[in-house]
Chain A
Amino acid sequence: MSSRFIRSGTLVAAAFFLLIAPFARGLADPDVSDSQGGQEYQKKAAFLCKFAKFVEWPSHKFTQPDSPLIIGVVGADPFGGLLEEAAQDSRINDRTVTVRHVESMEELRKCHIIFVCRSETERLGPILSEVRGDNVLTVGETEKFTSRGGMINFVMVGADVRFQINDAAARHAGIKIRSQLQQLALPSSR
């Protein structure tokens, strides 16, 4: 597993560099027209839709076997419709994927996955604590997201989208993240 560490080390360094970069640009609103950013969020949208394939929720989370999977976007939507496109093409078994822009805390609890946008970095704590007992997979894209109780955090490694996983948080929320997915995860930064 030594190679894994070596590789992880380099990845950590790269991730660190990339995580710093947006701040350097002064938290600019990501633009969908930006080709690199567009590709980034296209991937992230696809990833969001595909996470469900490697995640198991408690059965009571769905009213029907074919109940749609609900992805809630919290905050300023950086996808610009890409997520809806991805959801349109996605099927998780018999389920369709629905995207909602969450306006209230009430809505949060009904979602299976919530994506906490960068805009909500400051309110991350309350949001996470709001859905803590409701079997919601929390996905973010901000630094320290996992360490603050988030479950999956997107990280950019060069042009590639990678992610960190906080399995303990997921398990705590009654969500099972399959090992295949966990294998892909970058180590969480503390």
Chain B
Amino acid sequence: MTWFPRNIPIRRKLTLVVLVSTTAALLVASAALFAFQVYTFRQNFMRDLAALSQVIAANSTAAITFQDADAAKEILAGLRVKQHIRNAFVVLPSGKIFTRFGDDFGSVPLSEYPAQTGFRFMGADLLQTQEIRLDNEKIGVLYLRSDYGRVYGDLLHLYMLTLAVVLALSSGIAFAISSQLQRVISGPIQNLAETARVIAARNDYSLRAEKMGADEIGAFTDTFNHMLEQIQYQDATLQAVQNTLELQVKEQQHEIAERKRAEEEIEALHNQLVEASRHAGMAEVATGVLHNVGNVLNSVNVSSTLLAERLRKSRAPNVERAAELLRDRNGGLARWLTEDEKGRMLPSYLAELGRHLSTEHAEMTTELELLVKNVEHIKEIVAMQQNYAKVSGFTETLPLEKLVDDALQMNTAAFERHRVKVIRNYENVPNVRVDKHKVLQILVNLLRNAKYAMEACRERRIELHIHRASAAAVRITVQDTGCGILRENLTRIFSHGFTTKKDGHGFGLHSGAIAAKEMGGILTAESEGPGRGATFILDLPIAEPNTAAPANPANPA
């Protein structure tokens, strides 16, 4: 149906549908009727013509028999009322025309006219041949020539005119009726469409289409309204959900803000803790330093006391007295030296005194050198402490052995006091890139923990190993013979607040692990169980050659 216009309003479509159907039906009916009429007309026409000729033939029998041409002519004259009869004539068996009616025969010679009863078309004319028989004797032939074509044409003309008029009338009536009736269908549809348009324009889903009947459109209207209800309901639900969501989002934002604040607080706290731990570490370092300084100060004290005693007991004043004796013998010194007993003894005394003073001088010099050395030691210790007390956060490339030794040095006094045996086993490893304060802090803490863990043990031994862990890392292991660690605590010991010490804070190892991680290293612990010692392993990244600072220290390969 591509020919049918799709973009015209429904009411026009309906009207058009009715019109087209009506016209089509009418045309088909008319065509059938027309064909039937034409057929019937032809049949009737022929039958009438045949009947007419039979009647005339029958009436003419006596006239022919009794050779009454006038009577025969009279009979044929009756055909006058049949306007379509152009001519009629009666031919005797001899070939002679007995009588005739109407115009001439036309161009066709009489001999070619059929002699048997029947029809023949001659152009538009229909020729009826009728044998005239009397008692089975053929006494003549009647020819009737009818102007069939004209009658047929007139009839066709009439039919066409009628058809045209009927078509025009019926189309008009169909149009008038369908224009009214189409509202029955298009009305509800337009109503629906209008409602839908208003809804679309206003976004108002509370509107409802008016139901105008219980047909399909009515059902559609119901469905439409139902859909509107659902949309309205869903809209409301959606709105509610949206409100709830907004509320939740606000709450969540609030929560997030709070959480952020809490995290910031935690961060601040953590920073404080780290700072505290650093301070604590520094305190530990300081304690070690002070201890060392104290030890050296002991030696300094001994040396200085010894020197003071030596000086107090020095025979240096005896030189002064010998000098006075010599000055008193002014003038007679030679005689006194030779003759007087005292004078004679004086040179040997002086020699003896000189020898003694020399010895004393050598001894005091030695002691002073020792004193200087000790003071120098103190200076070194303080310098080292000052070195580590600098602000941390800078990574540098360092030999690890030095750091480990420094850490050991800071605990030397404590280890000596507790008779802890330290075994060092250093392999030759590349330099590491670390924050030395952090490493020192970690190592000091590990050593202190080891010492603490071994307090109740008979054998107190710490083994320190340095070796290459991988292509990118160097490993320091601090192995003790202490009380060991429970398997379930192997990871917990690194969490904040966990401690097994009576006076511990629980952030030593925690901050140590964090510090290791910050440097791109890792701090782990191993233990075969309680009483079987523990090993802490610190992996640190190897400094890449020709690189001042690593691009990403947090990602050691």
Give the docked Cα–Cα distance between A86 and B503 (Å). Answer: 179
Binary contact track A3-23/B, C-beta < 8 Å → 1, others 0: 110010000000000000000
Residues of A contacting B70 in the complex (Cβ-Cβ under 8 angstroms):
7
Contact with A162, one of B59, B60, B68 (Cβ below 8 angstroms): B68
Q: Does A62 contact B (CB under 8 A)?
A: no
> Is the pair A180, B62 in contact by a Cβ cutoff of 8 Å?
yes
Give the docked Cα–Cα distance between A164 and B389 (Å). Answer: 178
Residues of B contacting A76 in the complex (Cβ-Cβ under 8 angstroms):
none
Binds B, one of A47-55, A112-120, A135-143: A47-55
> Is the pair B135, A92 in contact by a Cβ cutoff of 8 Å?
yes
> Is the pair B135, A183 in contact by a Cβ cutoff of 8 Å?
no
* Closest residue of A by beta carbon distance from B58: A180
Residues of B contacting A181 in the complex (Cβ-Cβ under 8 angstroms):
62, 66
Q: Does A105 contact B (CB under 8 A)?
A: no
> Is the pair A183, B134 in contact by a Cβ cutoff of 8 Å?
no
Of residues 132 through 166 on chain B, the ones whose CB sits less than 8 Å from some CB of chain A are 134-136
Q: Does A91 contact B (CB under 8 A)?
A: yes
Residues of B contacting A160 in the complex (Cβ-Cβ under 8 angstroms):
67-68
Give the docked Cα–Cα distance between A181 and B66 (Å). Answer: 9
Contact with A180, one of B61, B67, B136 (Cβ below 8 angstroms): B61
* Closest residue of A by beta carbon distance from B69: A160
Residues of B contacting A47 in the complex (Cβ-Cβ under 8 angstroms):
66
> Is the pair A50, B66 in contact by a Cβ cutoff of 8 Å?
yes
**Size bin of chain B's contact surface:** 10 to 19
Binary contact track B42-63/A, C-beta < 8 Å → 1, others 0: 0000000000000000111111
* Closest residue of B by beta carbon distance from A163: B66
Contact with A91, one of B59, B62, B77, B135 (Cβ below 8 angstroms): B135
Residues of B contacting A3 in the complex (Cβ-Cβ under 8 angstroms):
74, 77
Residues of A contacting B74 in the complex (Cβ-Cβ under 8 angstroms):
3-4, 183
* Closest residue of A by beta carbon distance from B65: A50
Q: Does A93 contact B (CB under 8 A)?
A: yes
A4-B74, A7-B70, A162-B68 known; A180+B63 contact, CB < 8 A = yes
* Closest residue of B by beta carbon distance from A95: B135
Give the docked Cα–Cα distance between A47 and B61 (Å). Answer: 13
Number of A-B contacts (CB under 8 A): 45
Binary contact track A167-190/B, C-beta < 8 Å → 1, others 0: 000000000001111011000000
A53-B134, A53-B135, A91-B135 known; A180+B68 contact, CB < 8 A = no
Give the docked Cα–Cα distance between A92 and B137 (Å). Answer: 10
> Is the pair A183, B66 in contact by a Cβ cutoff of 8 Å?
no
Query: What is the CB-to-nearest-CB distance from A75 to chain B, in angstroms, rounded to a whole number?
Result: 23
> Is the pair B63, A183 in contact by a Cβ cutoff of 8 Å?
yes
> Is the pair A184, B135 in contact by a Cβ cutoff of 8 Å?
no
Of residues 59 through 86 on chain B, the ones whose CB sits less than 8 Å from some CB of chain A are 59-63, 65-68, 70-71, 74-75, 77
* Closest residue of B by beta carbon distance from A50: B65
A50-B65, A53-B65 known; A184+B71 contact, CB < 8 A = yes
Give the docked Cα–Cα distance between A184 and B59 (Å). Answer: 10
Of residues 41 through 62 on chain A, the ones whose CB sits less than 8 Å from some CB of chain B are 43, 47, 50, 53-54
Residues of A contacting B68 in the complex (Cβ-Cβ under 8 angstroms):
160, 162, 184
Residues of B contacting A4 in the complex (Cβ-Cβ under 8 angstroms):
74
* Closest residue of B by beta carbon distance from A179: B59
> Is the pair B62, A178 in contact by a Cβ cutoff of 8 Å?
yes
Residues of B contacting A91 in the complex (Cβ-Cβ under 8 angstroms):
135
> Is the pair B134, A184 in contact by a Cβ cutoff of 8 Å?
no
Residues of B contacting A161 in the complex (Cβ-Cβ under 8 angstroms):
66
Binary contact track A65-85/B, C-beta < 8 Å → 1, others 0: 000000000000000000000
Contact with B62, one of A7, A92, A183 (Cβ below 8 angstroms): A183
Contact with A93, one of B59, B77, B135 (Cβ below 8 angstroms): B135
Residues of A contacting B136 in the complex (Cβ-Cβ under 8 angstroms):
93
Query: What is the CB-to-nearest-CB distance from B140 to chain A, in angstroms, rounded to a whole number?
Result: 13
* Closest residue of A by beta carbon distance from B72: A184
* Closest residue of A by beta carbon distance from B77: A3
A4-B74, A53-B134 known; A183+B65 contact, CB < 8 A = no
* Closest residue of A by beta carbon distance from B64: A180
Residues of A contacting B71 in the complex (Cβ-Cβ under 8 angstroms):
183-184
Query: What is the CB-to-nearest-CB distance from B70 to chain A, in angstroms, rounded to a whole number?
Result: 7
Which of B74, B135, B136 gathers the greatest number of chain A CB atoms within 10 Å?
B135
Query: What is the CB-to-nearest-CB distance from B142 to chain A, in angstroms, rounded to a whole number?
Result: 14
Give the docked Cα–Cα distance between A54 and B74 (Å). Answer: 19
Binary contact track B335-353/A, C-beta < 8 Å → 1, others 0: 0000000000000000000
Query: What is the CB-to-nearest-CB distance from B468 to chain A, in angstroms, rounded to a whole number?
Result: 155
Give the docked Cα–Cα distance between A47 and B74 (Å). Answer: 20
Query: What is the CB-to-nearest-CB distance from B69 to chain A, in angstroms, rounded to a whole number?
Result: 9
Residues of A contacting B63 in the complex (Cβ-Cβ under 8 angstroms):
180, 183-184
Give the docked Cα–Cα distance between A50 and B62 (Å). Answer: 9
* Closest residue of A by beta carbon distance from B62: A180
Give the docked Cα–Cα distance between A181 and B65 (Å). Answer: 9
Give the docked Cα–Cα distance between A92 and B136 (Å). Answer: 10
Give the docked Cα–Cα distance between A178 and B74 (Å). Answer: 17
Query: What is the CB-to-nearest-CB distance from B187 to chain A, in angstroms, rounded to a whole number?
Result: 72
Give the docked Cα–Cα distance between A23 and B66 (Å). Answer: 26
* Closest residue of B by beta carbon distance from A182: B62
Residues of B contacting A178 in the complex (Cβ-Cβ under 8 angstroms):
62
Residues of B contacting A50 in the complex (Cβ-Cβ under 8 angstroms):
65-66
Of residues 66 through 115 on chain B, the ones whose CB sits less than 8 Å from some CB of chain A are 66-68, 70-71, 74-75, 77
Residues of B contacting A179 in the complex (Cβ-Cβ under 8 angstroms):
59
Query: What is the CB-to-nearest-CB distance from A96 to chain B, in angstroms, rounded to a whole number?
Result: 13
Additional pairs, 17, CB under 8 Å, beyond known A3-B77, A54-B62, A184-B63 = A3-B74, A50-B65, A53-B61, A53-B65, A53-B134, A54-B65, A91-B135, A93-B135, A160-B67, A160-B68, A163-B66, A180-B60, A180-B61, A180-B62, A181-B62, A183-B59, A183-B71
**6 A-B contacts (beta carbon < 8 Å):** A7-B70, A43-B67, A53-B65, A180-B59, A183-B62, A183-B75
Using CB atoms and an 8 Å cutoff, list the residues of chain B in contact with chain A: 58-63, 65-68, 70-71, 74-75, 77, 134-136
